[in-house]
Structure 1
Amino acid sequence: MQTNEVKGILNATGANIYFHSKGTGENLLLLHAGIADSRMWDKEFHLLSEKYRVVRLDLPGYGSSDFTGVNYSYSNIINELLTHLDINHTHILAASFGGKIAIDFYLENPEKCLSLALLSPALSGWEDSSYLQEYEEGEEKLLQEGKIEETAQFNYETWILRNRDPELINSDVKQLVIDMQIKSLTKPEPDHPCEEIETEDNILQIKDIRVPVLIINGKYDVQDFHDISELMSKELPSVKRITIPDAAHLANLESPELFFKMISEFFFDNSKNS
């Protein structure tokens, strides 16, 4: 069967970006979470490519993508990748920090987005709870002490384990999350300092999202992300919100079959060919 599979490195403005494209049909872009890389979408990437042209990438500083010491914009990097792959319109599946990037990208490029499926999305302009602020301070302290493996474990416990019995979490999920963390945390600093070209506080603009939106959270997700999803479900004109039981921040890793069923139905319902 023809898969039209392509892997490569795009020399984008501010970063060398690893990307992987597979399949034919309507385009579907995958954006990973901030505690992960494109490997978090392994199952979804291959299954969705049976019906769509799916593109996943490692954001700069994650996986096989690196900063190049020039100021960068996530939206510009996505635009450069889409142009490189001759993509004019795409559905987007994004998680957590990747969800924030997807929302920002839509608000800057609404004509390019067909629909948004967002797993535990972050949101530009959201004021973090005291819990998240303490988490960030704890992570920073560990990093300053050079404790890479401890930082990865801390992030796993904060975002995935969530005070549950460790036996409830598949060991493969833990290993993948730890591996993705360590790969990012051990990347060398770029030769020249670079900064993100920040977007607006798009929390004020989300009501302008006009495409269909699916929002998914795990029941045990960090409360901030339930609150963000609740806010978005009230503000957006076309939105469906679902909570997956027995899962936390990255529900696709803990409940892959249920998660895939939900996103498959969503993208099918919003496909031009459905």
Structure 2
Amino acid sequence: MNTTATTWRVGWSRGVTELRQSFTNAGDLFNHCFWPVIMLITTFFLRDVAFRQTGFSLGTLVLPSILGMNASMAMVTMSQLLTADREDGTLLRAKATPNGMRSYLVGKIVSVSGSLVADLLIFLIPGMFIISGLAIGGPGSWLTLIWVLALGLAATLPIGAVLGSLFTSARSQGLLTLPILGVIAISGVFYPITAMPHWVQWIAQLFPIYWLGLGTRSALLPDSAMAIEIGESWRHLETVGVLSVWAIAGLLLAPIVLRRMARREAGSSVAERREKALQRAR
């Protein structure tokens, strides 16, 4: 049997199993619902807050931006899961099987992507009834949303795998989360980026979070909202270009970094990390 086909089949099966388990476990199910509900509450209180004289409320502008932000946060989820599996020895077991690391990575991409889509639907479907002014009537809106999210996942998930390989303990993930929250704050998610200083706008445009937010706004907002954006345009070509650069960089770098990480994994290192975790718990 073709090795590549087997790797994808095993990885897909693993990912679907993990996804199914996450929706039958009370703790995971709570996590799936918690943040979408918090974001819904946020948009609800912003639904009547006008942004300058644009005719749009902050709630209308924020809802699609939050979709893009959540898609970009998939790299944090990927990083956290990879670090946790490295700490408890799951990666070592994957390494010991033929093509185990590749199957593991495919499985994680499937499970994280599936979880993300479910979380976005939990947020978007009620949000469409809470927030007015969205342009969601035509198929073009949904096609744009699909390609933006698909390209966004291609840009963020490999980077998440790279970042996860840099940490040996789940406790150290705060070193990753805090900078990402800082980038979110300047990326026009909760307030239009054109209201920020120009130097902040340039920094934000270096990262995929801004472009994912711009792409989801272009899918769900009317064209009149372009007046609020940089250059008064949705800049689809630039969105494709920047997200593609991140995707290519991640896809080239992730296999190299993961192979090096796997070579360093051994039973002794897993036992040492487990002992340190037990000592912290005492």
TM-score, normalised via structure 2 length: 0.27
Structure having the larger proportion of residues in helix:
2
Instruction: Choose between structure 1 and 2 for higher RCO, CA contacts under 8 A separated by at least 6 residues.
Output: 2
Structure having the larger proportion of residues in strand:
1
Pick the structure with greater CA Rg.
2
